[in-house]
Structures are given as structure tokens and as C-alpha cells.
Amino acid sequence: MDVMSVPTSDLDPKIAERLKRDANGLVPAIAQQYDTGEVLMLGWMDDEALHRTLTTGRCTYWSRSRREYWVKGETSGHQQWVKSVALDCDADAILVKVDQVGAACHTGDRTCWDADVLDAVVGERPDARS
């Protein structure tokens, strides 16, 4: 799949024309827990995956390794129930706020970001009162 041959989809054309896809026709999609703000995972969506996500209430992604659509939790039971979907200001990323059931990461962790925290200098903003 490349940007010149985006598969046909029932995605609203007004949304489809705004999307900025990568060379494979995909847009990164961040899943975030709707009530806590916890960032859960990154997946990839093409037009059809976004259409399915918008119309079914369940997150659907495109698996780059298996080259097929997958509904999060369809086999694992670790489902994502859609609460809202938004495009960023450039329409090159999708934010899906979800109600996550169980682990979001394929490793069994709650999120994909809790196992490999890197050492970093912590920045502090200047005191606004000075």
C-alpha cells in the first residue's frame, strides 16, 4: 500500500482529504485512556481502519507485520472502547481516547511506555512570578 494507491474506504471524503499519510498510506494513532490521560499505545491506521474505528466504537488498526486489520482485544480480550477521536492540527496523527480493558501492550503491560523509561535531565520552567 502506498500513498498513491490508498485503498477505497467508506471514510468520509472530507476527513480522507485532510489526512497526511506516510509512504505506506498510514497515519500514527495514539490510544489514550479517556479518564486518566494515561498514554497507552501507538498503532497505525489507514482510511479503512479509521472508518471502522469511527463507526464501530472499537479501535481498529492496520498491522504492518501481519498486513491485515485488527480490532484491539479481538483475540486477547484487552479491548479498547472508543470515547473520542481527533486529528492533530496537521492531520498527520490521530488521538483516540478509549476505555481500555486490561493491558494495552502486546507484552501484557498496561501501557507500551512503562517498561523502558530512559534517564533524562528533568527540566523546570522558570517561576512565572519572577
Which residues participate in the annotated binding site? 88-90, 92, 105, 112
Which positions make up the binding site for Mg(2+)? 88, 90, 92
Contact at 8 Å (CB) between 23 and 95?
no
Helices (H) and strands (E) in the chain, counts: 2, 6
Whats the size of the chain, residue-wise? 130
Largest CA distance in the chain: 57
**60 DSSP β-pair partners:** 71
Which positions make up the binding site for Zn(2+)? 89, 105, 112
Nearest to 98 by CA among 51, 60, 126, 46: 60
